[in-house]
Amino acid sequence: MIERQASVPPRALRALVVDDEQPVLDELVWLLGRDDRIASVRAARSGAEALRVLDEGDIELVFLDVAMPGLSGLEIARLLGRFRTPPRIVFVTAHDAHAVEAFEMNAVDYLLKPIREERLRESVRRACADADSTPVASDDRIAVELGGVTRFVSRASVSYVEAQGDYVRLHVVDGGSHLIRTPLTTLAEEWEEAGFARVHRSHVVNLAHLRELRVQSGRSSVLVPVGDELVEIQVARRHARALRELIHERAL
């Protein structure tokens, strides 16, 4: 375990660097120790060691190597997402193959090796800005890839979600759709508190955009907007009662 202390200005962040390559680890610890926005720097050479440090609960910013033996950086990030107050994450890697997946986890930045000090300082700036901003739901922004460019869509703009194997397609209110890699069941659980409801094994709808609930011959369906059209989605019998109760609660 390596630890360096720096002078501590207001809002300075306590950081952890995780990388299985000792030279990279040493360089990041040294560079971060030169930044007065970083209160302290700790280091770990494995995912297991990192989790022991994180379990202490005082780390606010983590620099995660993506590819490591055992627990990868992405796997550690998923575990951190379950923390009551997860630390901010900056991914560090030799390639950009996982950029979209990283931003889906709301990483504040994605650094490519070899690390340049000025680029690292920009990552710290973003993390500090995020720390100073009003907290938002961890999945309020969704990273999508369009023509090789990573962009973001607001979760609130999603009208409904459609399952497509191990992926889901997000249909947005102003038209168009985006494919992201996450199971529908996982998404439905994570977005439930934000007003999304499972209506079918293949569909989740945003109740904020619900225009109409239809019941005909014992079968239910809902209408939600996408572009200039209203899309009708069938409601499975096992979800119908819970959906009606949710609509009633929102109307009170």
Average per-residue pLDDT in the chain? Answer: 84
DSSP string across 128-175: HHHHHSPP--TTSEEEEEETTEEEEEEGGGEEEEEEETTEEEEEETTS
The predicted structure's pLDDT at residue 133: 60
Summarised one tens digit per residue, pLDDT across range 198-214 is 999 999 999 989 999 99
Summarised one tens digit per residue, pLDDT across range 14-34 is 999 999 999 999 999 999 999
**pLDDT band, very low/low/confident/very high, at 7 (cuts 50, 70, 90):** very low
Q: Which two tokens stand for residue 137?
A: 């739901």
C-alpha–C-alpha distance, residues 52 and 152, integer Å: 33
* H-helix or E-strand spanning residue 29: helix 22-33
Summarised one tens digit per residue, pLDDT across range 115-158 is 999 999 999 998 888 776 644 444 477 877 766 667 778 888 99
Report whether pLDDT(92) > 50: yes
**pLDDT band, very low/low/confident/very high, at 252 (cuts 50, 70, 90):** very low
Strand 109-112 to 13-18 pairing: unpaired
Q: In what order do the strands lie in the sheet with 203-206?
A: 177-180, 167-172, 158-164, 203-206, 196-200
The predicted structure's pLDDT at residue 162: 97
Strand 212-216 to 219-226 pairing: antiparallel
Residue pair 185/219 in contact (Cβ under 8 Å)? The answer is: no
C-alpha–C-alpha distance, residues 209 and 194, integer Å: 12
pTM of the model: 0.51
